[in-house]
Amino acid sequence: MSTQAETKQFQAETRKVLDIVINSLYTERDIFVRELVSNASDALEKFRHLSLTEQPEFDAHVPLEINLDCDDKKHTLTITDTGVGMTAEELEENLGTIAHSGSGKFVEELAEAAKKDVSLIGQFGVGFYSAFMAAKTVTVQTRSWDGSNGHEWHSDGNGSYTISPCDGLHRGTKIIIELKDDAEEYGQKFTLERIIKQYSTFIPFPVKVEGNKVNTVEAIWSRSKSEITDEEYSEFYKFVGNAYDEPTFRLHFAADAPLAINALLFVPKDNFENLGMGRMDPGVNLYCQKVLIDQHSKSILPEWLRFIKGVVDSEDLPLNISRQSLQDNALVMKLRKVITKRFLKYMTEEAKKDSEKYLTFWKTFGIFIKEGVTSDFEYQKELAPLLRFESSATEAGSMTSLQEYVDRMAEGQEEIYYINGPSRGAIENGPYVEMFKKRDIEILYTLEPIDDFVLSHLGEFDGKKLLSADRADLRLPESTEKDEQAQDDASGEEKLAEAVQTSLCKWMKEILGEKVKEVKSSTRLVDSPAMIVNADGYMTSSMERILAAQGKSGQDNPMAMSGKKEMEINPANSLIKKMADLRTKDQDFAKDVAEQIYDNAMIQAGLLVDPQEMVNRNYRILERMSA
Ligand code: ADP
Ligand code: MG
């Protein structure tokens, strides 16, 4: 082994991160202390867990703690932990590169976030590199728990670093920071004490500044609710979630049966996935008797609850369980089920208590609830009451639950109706809601394309089928006599004779060919001449749109749904009546009109038409102006 220092270049992405950290984030300098202390705590947690599974022998007696020491004359700050430490390979891997997959994108997102809101960087785990906000140079001396030789890493943050062997180290890591001239305050005891008290109270190991312990080292989740103040909860949230905002909901509960559980869960204010930061890691840590078993656990909650931050502690888990075996551990699965159901029940109750507050949650995190419905059959029943949609009975922008819809249903209505569209206005002016409006039947407006997947996955609510209004087989509830009366009074329009209707439909089908399965007279249209409906009971137009965008369907695809489409025409509509007449006089012109009506109906369904063909036809029709 060479005793020379080896000089290495930072990975290109790392250099960019360093550049951002040093130049844009220095207004929030305190966070570097928090980041380094939290790394020290992570390393100690790892060791504590390892010592249960591996029985390490090297330096086994060294107490688990974090020490901060400063020298106000030399202007240095030293942070020492007795955690797992790092081997030379780990040093290079962890402190020379950005371990994120797709790190190029990561750096771009980080740069964006740094511009928008400095507090977002915590979410990125730039962690260690934040030391360079305050450091002229950083030296890391570390020795792994496995007892292999120690090493020293050194850098001034300008492009390169060195790694050299270092003798005489105990297990763990020492980080020595030579402070910049304008960062000398971090060489003072009271500054460090202030920062630890502010950010690191909940570190589960003693944190000592110049030998004096400054934190309390206790597991807040195991204390009784009545003893914990809102401030403490909020501080713990910030600690555990690496967050800077305030939590909007919190659920703290303990149970003994069927499993011993202590859980403290928080809903954050912001959805970081919405802020364009890629997929979040899960935010709940799994403990057993206050020992961290699995940080950011993928096992303890379903994936679609990854926005929740907090802690789950269960005494029933075997302490020496390995992280790998958590995934398919029967006990963990049981825990997950109990906690998930408990959380969903809690949110349902909160929604009842304060619907406005819940709506804010829904607007931020509803997408995760929808993800749950479409990806996780197990919790559909618990998730359904949390869904919210606009509807014909709500004001623009406000929303209804499925339960409220059901409560408003008139006698005789057995089903729940919905229709997708790009906006409330587009839906309300489109053909699908005409009969609903006229008959005063409530219809949900699903404004997001994914909503139709959600509702068709759900299938029913409270025993009532959920049906899209663009289904071909949709039958509205039997109309009452009063309705019939109103209908006759209102329309007043003479319908085409039955025989004419039949032959007109047949003729249109011939013209449209394979584009439609059938052309039928509508009983649902009031004003519009025509509409497209889906014969496939599962697929709605909005779902087809998504599949088309993904290249899974669409016009070029022989398997496309178009074979399953039907067109309904309105036999009382004046345009349809004129077309029936025109057929006998000017076949070519009538054919253009029929095709144009079809294209228009497709557009109203949000589906694609061939624009060039349509424009040419349109001009041919406009040509008639002078005639
Ligand atoms: P993160 O903590 O989000 O992983 P950091 O940049 O803070 O990112 O740290 C990078 C990695 O360096 C850590 O994941 C860890 O493997 C290693 N590391 C940092 N500090 C220490 C330490 N005090 N002891 C052991 N390993 C550490
Ligand atoms: Mg870190």
- Summarised one tens digit per residue, pLDDT across range 112-141 is 777 766 655 655 666 898 899 999 999 999
Say whether pLDDT at 557 is over 50.
Answer: no
pLDDT at residue 7, rounded to an integer:
94
Say whether pLDDT at 252 is over 90.
Answer: yes
Q: Of all protein residues, whose CA lies closest to atom 20 belonging to ligand 1?
A: 39
pLDDT at residue 279, rounded to an integer:
86
Say whether pLDDT at 481 is over 70.
Answer: no
Q: Across the chain, what does the average pLDDT equal?
A: 89
Binned at pLDDT 50, 70 and 90, residue 1 comes out as very low
Q: Which has the minimum average pLDDT: 79-88, 105-114, 167-176, 386-395?
A: 105-114
Kind plus residue range of the DSSP H or E element containing 344: helix 330-353
Residues counted in the chain: 627
pLDDT at residue 122, rounded to an integer:
57
Q: Which atom of ligand 1 is nearest to the CA of 90?
A: 16
Compute, in angstroms, the gap from residue 283 CA to the centroid of ligand 1.
Answer: 18
Collect residues with CB below 5 Å from ion ligand 2.
39, 127
The H-assigned helical ranges of 200-329 are 230-240, 323-326
Say whether pLDDT at 347 is over 60.
Answer: yes
pLDDT at residue 486, rounded to an integer:
53
Binned at pLDDT 50, 70 and 90, residue 322 comes out as confident
Contact 368, 306 (CB under 8 A): yes
Q: Mind listing the domains of the chain with CATH numbers? A: 6-213 (3.30.565.10), 220-365 (3.30.230.80), 387-626 (1.20.120.790)
What is the rounded CA–CA span in Å between residue 182 and residue 573? 79
Contact 331, 317 (CB under 8 A): yes
pLDDT at residue 558, rounded to an integer:
39
C-alpha 560 chain-centroid distance: 30
Compute, in angstroms, the gap from residue 125 CA to the centroid of ligand 1.
Answer: 9
Task: Pick the closest to residue 504 from 527, 520, 528, 525 (CA basis).
Answer: 520
Task: Return the exposure string of 342-359: e unless at least 16 CB atoms fall within 10 Å of the residue's CB, then b.
Answer: bbbebbbebbeeebeebb
Contact 34, 200 (CB under 8 A): yes
The sheet with strand 76-81 has its strands ordered as 6-9, 160-165, 151-155, 135-143, 172-179, 76-81, 66-71, 207-209, 212-213
Count of C-beta atoms within a 10 Å radius of residue 382: 17
What is the pLDDT averaged over residues 322-335?
Answer: 86
Q: What angle do CA 113, 248, 406 make, to 5 degrees?
A: 115
The H-assigned helical ranges of 25-130 are 31-53, 88-96, 103-116
What is the rounded CA–CA span in Å between residue 460 and residue 257? 32
Tell me the percentage of the chain whose pLDDT exceeds 90: 66
pLDDT at residue 479, rounded to an integer:
66
Dump pLDDT digits (tens) for 257-290. Answer: 889 999 999 999 998 887 767 788 899 999 988 8
DSSP state, residue 116: H
Q: Which atom of ligand 1 is nearest to the CA of 95?
A: 12
Which is more confident, 552 or 154?
Answer: 154
| 295 phi, psi to nearest 5 deg | -80, 145
Binned at pLDDT 50, 70 and 90, residue 554 comes out as very low
Contact 254, 220 (CB under 8 A): no
The number of the ligand nearest the C-alpha atom of 123 reads: 1
Compute, in angstroms, the gap from residue 94 CA to the centroid of ligand 1.
Answer: 6
What is the pLDDT averaged over residues 403-409?
Answer: 97
Which is more confident, 21 or 75?
Answer: 75
Binned at pLDDT 50, 70 and 90, residue 72 comes out as confident
Half-sphere exposure of 198 (CA within 13 A, CB side): 13
Dump pLDDT digits (tens) for 462-477. Answer: 999 999 999 988 888 8
For residue 396 the two structure tokens come to: 């623009």
Residues with CB under 6 A from ligand 1: 35, 39-40, 42-43, 81, 83-86, 94-95, 125, 127-128, 173
Compute, in angstroms, the gap from residue 132 CA to the centroid of ligand 1.
Answer: 15
Task: Return the exposure string of 427-461: e unless at least 16 CB atoms fall within 10 Å of the residue's CB, then b.
Answer: bbebbbbbbbebbebbbbbbbebbbbbbbbbbeeb
pLDDT at residue 5, rounded to an integer:
87
Say whether pLDDT at 542 is over 90.
Answer: no
Helix (H, G, I), strand (E, B) or coil at 146: coil
Task: Pick the closest to residue 297 from 126, 308, 114 (CA basis).
Answer: 308
Residue the block writes with tokens 């819940």: 358
pLDDT at residue 114, rounded to an integer:
72
pLDDT at residue 559, rounded to an integer:
41
Dump pLDDT digits (tens) for 180-225. Answer: 999 999 999 999 999 998 778 888 999 999 999 998 877 899 999 9
Task: Pick the closest to residue 198 from 212, 223, 215, 211 (CA basis).
Answer: 215
What is the pLDDT averaged over residues 351-356?
Answer: 96
Tell me the percentage of the chain whose pLDDT exceeds 70: 91
For residue 67 the two structure tokens come to: 């020490």
Dump pLDDT digits (tens) for 354-402. Answer: 999 999 999 999 999 999 999 999 999 999 999 999 999 999 989 999 9
pLDDT at residue 100, rounded to an integer:
59
Q: Which has the minimum average pLDDT: 185-189, 322-326, 584-588?
A: 322-326
What is the rounded CA–CA span in Å between residue 436 and residue 431? 10
Q: Which atom of ligand 1 is nearest to the CA of 46?
A: 25
173: left (phi over 0), alpha (psi -120 to 50) or beta: beta
